[in-house]
């Protein structure tokens, strides 16, 4: 007769968050803000065999149409982290080494993992510390322990660990804490362009009234210095809006293009061949609307964009020679919400 080994209580792991700040902050958001129950800081070790599956169930990684991180996929890498970052990795809490249920869209059945995009060294630093603790305690599957991020938090950069500070944390969303709210394909899926109705994963900011983030686009032809022609806006459900041609006679001139939930401002920065500026949901005071996103046609970030197949995978815009002299065709992807207020 075989008897199952009784799990071992490995005690409390007091984490030193120096050089691991972003990952610690993500964990503290889950433990202290998102799911502050009595066992929120408890980790039951799953063993190494389930790590990749857990990363897909958390939404950090997808297998379709190819293996990718959500933090290297438009529109999420544009909206949920530094849009110009090129070194971002996805961190999840509970971590991949913890036993977890398969994803469920009902947070009462399975609370979503807290996801955060961050530089690889900070992500790997906390992972290395957890792995060292498991080795030191000779952990085996089903053993468990609790994590304490607050006792040694003084060693960390205090500007980067807001959710770990104080007896009662400041749980205001910093715009970087998000989670998966739908996964229709077993291995997860994020298409390029993002396709909301073709089984792509869906994500939203956690602990806020805002709904899922989607993707919008704009296409047009620049004809010479000032003429903008053949304009098409596409909204979150890929519905097209065809706009009347207009002109930008002078450098610095702007024009509001309407049809999406919020206006899209286009700005001339120079003569033909120069970059074009864009501002979705423009306001006099930045930070007034969740839809706000500003970029230009030369920018690149961390994702698959409209120029991927042209060998420029990270560009927000594809800029190509048009049909005739002094003509350029523009196509840009940017993050947007279903409604003007994001709710």
In tens, the pLDDT along 194-236 reads 988 779 999 999 999 999 999 999 999 999 999 999 999 999 9
**Residue 77 three-state SS:** helix
- Measured distance CA(338)–CA(330) in Å, rounded: 23
| Backbone phi, psi, residue 34, to 5° | -80, -40
Instruction: For residue 86, name the pLDDT band (cuts at 50, 70, 90).
Output: confident
pLDDT band at 5 (very low <50, low <70, confident <90, very high): confident
Confidence of residue 51 (pLDDT cuts 50, 70, 90): confident
310-328, pLDDT tens digit by residue?
A: 888 899 999 999 999 999 9
The reported pLDDT for the residue numbered 16 is 97
Residues 156, 17: contact at Cβ < 8 Å?
yes
At 110-143, the pLDDT tens digits run: 999 999 999 999 999 999 999 999 999 999 999 9
Q: Three-class SS of residue 109?
A: coil
Question: How high does pLDDT run on average in the chain?
Answer: 94
Residue 163, helix vs strand vs coil: helix
Rounded Cα–Cα distance for residues 148 and 9 (Å): 15
Q: How large a percentage of the chain has pLDDT more than 90? A: 87
Angle between helices 120-136 and 21-28 (to 10 degrees): 70
232 membership: H or E segment, kind and range? strand 227-234
Cis preceding-peptide flag for 65 (omega within 30 of 0): yes
Read off the pTM.
Answer: 0.94
C-alpha to C-alpha distance for 342 and 313, rounded to whole angstroms? 28
Q: Does residue 153 surpass a pLDDT of 90?
A: yes
């Amino acid at each position: 007769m075989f008897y199952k080994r009784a799990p071992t209580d490995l005690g409390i792991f007091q984490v030193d968050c120096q050089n691991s700040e972003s990952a610690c902050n993500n964990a503290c958001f889950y433990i202290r803000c998102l799911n502050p129950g009595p066992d929120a800081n408890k980790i039951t070790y799953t063993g190494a065999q389930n790590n990749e599956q857990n990363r897909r169930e958390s939404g950090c990684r997808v297998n379709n149409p190819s293996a990718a991180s959500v933090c290297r996929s438009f529109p999420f890498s544009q909206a949920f982290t530094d849009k110009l970052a090129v070194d971002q990795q996805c961190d999840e809490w509970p971590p991949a080494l913890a036993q977890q249920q398969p994803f469920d869209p009902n947070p009462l059945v399975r609370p979503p993992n807290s996801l955060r995009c961050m530089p690889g060294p900070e992500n790997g630093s906390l992972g290395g510390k957890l792995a060292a603790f498991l080795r030191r305690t000779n952990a085996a599957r089903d053993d468990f322990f609790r994590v304490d991020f607050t006792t040694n938090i003084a060693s960390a950069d205090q500007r980067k660990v807001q959710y770990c500070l104080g007896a009662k944390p400041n749980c205001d969303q910093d715009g970087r804490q998000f989670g998966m709210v739908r996964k229709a394909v077993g291995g997860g899926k994020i298409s390029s362009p993002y396709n909301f109705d073709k089984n792509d994963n869906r994500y939203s900011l956690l602990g806020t009234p805002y709904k899922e983030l989607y993707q919008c686009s704009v296409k047009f032809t620049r004809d010479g210095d000032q003429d903008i022609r053949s304009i098409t806006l596409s909204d979150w459900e890929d519905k097209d809006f065809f706009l009347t041609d207009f002109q930008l006679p002078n450098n610095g001139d702007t024009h509001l293009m309407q049809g999406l939930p919020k206006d899209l401002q286009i700005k001339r920065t120079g003569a033909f061949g120069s970059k074009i500026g864009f501002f979705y949901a423009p306001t006099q005071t930045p930070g007034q609307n969740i839809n706000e996103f500003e970029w230009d046609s030369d920018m690149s970030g961390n994702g698959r964009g409209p120029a991927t197949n042209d060998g420029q995978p990270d560009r927000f815009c594809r800029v190509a020679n048009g049909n005739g002299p002094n003509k350029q065709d523009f196509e840009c992807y940017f993050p947007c919400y279903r409604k003007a207020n994001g709710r």
